[in-house]
C-alpha cells in the first residue's frame, strides 16, 4: 500500500487525478483511494498532521511492505531553485530530530528540513514546512524509518505571499512522474528479502537485551539499512553495560557505525 499525506487540497488535486483516486471516508479528514493508494488531506499545521497520520494508519492498518509519502510545498534558502524536488533526510522541530532512511538509489537532492508552527518570512538555513515532523512522529508508531519519504517541492524563498493555489497545483503536477519513480523505488526496496544467518539472529537477540523497546526499534532500522545497502555479514560486539547513559551512548555508536 502507498499512503500519501498532503496538507493542502491544491497539493492533493494532481495526485488524485494522476492515481485516479476516488473520495471515500472522512475521519474527519478527506480521504481518496484506489486499491493501491490511500491519500489523506490533513489541513495545514502540526496538530492536524499528527492526528491525520494517526487516523489514516489506524484506519487502514500497516504492513512491512507499505510506504508513506508526505508530499507538499516548502520554503527554502535561495540556493535551492524554485520548483526543485527535495527529499528530506533530517527533520527538526524544537530540539527533536528525525532521520528518514533513504535506502533507494536516486538522483534527487537531499536536504535538512525544519517544521514550524506557522507560515514564516524569517530566513532559515534549512527547508521549512509545517507538517513533516508531526507526520514522522505519528508514522513511526506504525512504520519503520525506511518506509517513509518526505518529498518537498520548493515554492518560495521565505516569501509566502508569493504562493497561491494555482502555483501549488502546477508545481506538484510537474513532478508527478518523479513522485511515482520514488514510490516505485521504495516499493522495490520493500520487497527485497533481508536474509540474516542464524548467528546474526542470535547476535541481534542478545544485543537487544541491553535496550528498551524504542531503542531496539531504532537499532533494527539501522541494521536493516546496513544489510540492504552492503549485503555483508553483520557484526555487533556485545558489551556489558550497567547504566542508562552507557546504553544510550553505545546505541548511538552502533547506529553511527551501521549507517555511515
Cell of residue 63, nine digits = 504492513
Q: How many domains does the chain have?
A: 2
The answer on 160 and 82 residing in a single domain is yes
Quick: pLDDT tens for 41-87.
Answer: 999 999 999 999 999 999 999 988 899 999 999 999 999 999 999 99
Sort 102 into a burial class: Cβ within 10 Å, 0-12 / 13-18 / 19+: buried
The predicted structure's pLDDT at residue 194: 65
Mean pLDDT of the 217-243 span: 83
The answer on 237 and 148 residing in a single domain is no
Q: Determine the length of the chain.
A: 260
The answer on 137 and 83 residing in a single domain is yes
The answer on 112 and 97 residing in a single domain is yes
The answer on 37 and 83 residing in a single domain is yes
Domain boundary among 168, 191, 214: 191
Residue whose C-alpha is closest to residue 75's, from 117, 8, 120: 120
Quick: pLDDT tens for 158-177.
Answer: 998 888 999 999 999 999 99
Sort 4 into a burial class: Cβ within 10 Å, 0-12 / 13-18 / 19+: buried
Beta strands per DSSP E along the chain? 2-6, 22-26, 30-33, 37-41, 67-75, 85-93, 96-98, 109-115, 127-129, 148-156
- Is residue 234 over pLDDT 70? yes
Quick: pLDDT tens for 4-52.
Answer: 999 999 999 999 999 999 998 777 888 999 999 999 999 999 999 999 9
pTM assigned to the model: 0.76
The answer on 229 and 132 residing in a single domain is no
Cell of residue 155, nine digits = 515554492
Q: Which residue has the higher pLDDT, 213 or 150?
A: 150
The answer on 209 and 165 residing in a single domain is no
The answer on 116 and 14 residing in a single domain is yes
The predicted structure's pLDDT at residue 239: 84
Residue whose C-alpha is closest to residue 211's, from 239, 182, 179, 235: 239
Cα–Cα distances in angstroms (integers) from residue 57 to residues 12, 127, 202, 215, 233, in the given order: 18, 26, 32, 22, 34
Mean pLDDT of the 90-110 span: 92
The answer on 186 and 118 residing in a single domain is yes
Domain boundary among 140, 162, 191: 191
Q: Which residues contact 146 (CB under 8 A, 6 or more apart)?
A: 100, 101, 102, 103, 186, 189, 221, 224, 225, 228
The answer on 56 and 184 residing in a single domain is yes
Cell of residue 227, nine digits = 544489510
Domain boundary among 138, 173, 191: 191
The answer on 227 and 116 residing in a single domain is no
The answer on 229 and 100 residing in a single domain is no
Total H helices, total E strands in the chain: 8, 10
The predicted structure's pLDDT at residue 200: 85
Cell of residue 240, nine digits = 556489558
For 210, the domain range is: 198-259
- Is residue 214 over pLDDT 90? no
Residue whose C-alpha is closest to residue 135's, from 237, 62, 55, 209: 55
Residue whose C-alpha is closest to residue 5's, from 31, 40, 44, 29: 40
Amino acid at each position: 500500500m502507498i499512503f500519501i499525506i498532503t496538507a493542502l487540497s491544491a497539493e492533493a488535486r494532481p495526485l488524485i487525478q494522476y492515481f485516479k483516486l476516488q473520495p471515500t471516508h472522512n475521519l474527519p479528514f478527506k480521504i481518496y483511494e484506489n486499491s493501491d493508494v490511500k491519500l489523506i488531506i490533513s489541513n495545514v499545521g502540526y496538530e492536524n498532521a499528527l492526528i491525520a497520520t494517526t487516523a489514516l494508519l489506524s484506519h487502514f492498518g500497516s504492513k512491512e511492505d507499505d510506504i508513506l509519502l508526505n508530499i507538499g510545498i516548502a520554503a527554502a534558502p535561495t540556493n535551492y531553485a524554485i520548483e526543485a524536488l527535495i527529499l528530506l533526510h533530517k527533520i527538526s522541530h524544537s530540539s527533536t530530530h528525525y532521520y528518514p532512511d533513504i535506502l533507494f538509489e536516486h538522483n534527487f537532492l537531499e536536504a535538512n528540513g525544519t517544521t514550524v508552527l506557522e507560515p514564516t518570512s524569517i530566513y532559515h538555513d534549512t527547508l521549512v514546512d509545517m507538517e513533516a515532523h508531526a507526520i514522522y512522529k505519528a508514522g513511526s508508531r506504525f512504520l519503520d524509518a525506511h518506509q517513509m519519504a518526505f518529498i518537498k517541492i520548493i515554492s518560495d524563498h521565505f516569501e509566502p505571499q508569493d504562493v497561491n493555489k494555482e502555483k501549488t497545483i502546477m508545481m506538484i503536477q510537474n513532478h508527478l512522474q518523479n513522485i511515482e519513480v520514488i514510490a516505485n523505488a521504495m516499493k522495490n526496496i520493500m520487497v527485497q528479502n533481508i536474509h540474516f544467518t542464524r548467528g546474526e539472529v542470535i547476535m541481534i537477540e542478545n544485543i537487544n537485551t541491553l535496550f528498551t523497546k524504542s531503542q531496539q526499534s531504532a537499532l533494527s532500522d539501522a541494521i536493516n539499512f546496513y544489510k540492504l545497502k552492503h549485503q555483508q555479514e553483520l557484526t555487533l560486539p556485545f558489551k556489558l553495560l550497567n547504566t542508562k547513559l552507557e546504553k544510550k551512548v553505545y546505541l548511538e555508536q552502533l547506529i553511527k557505525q551501521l549507517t555511515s
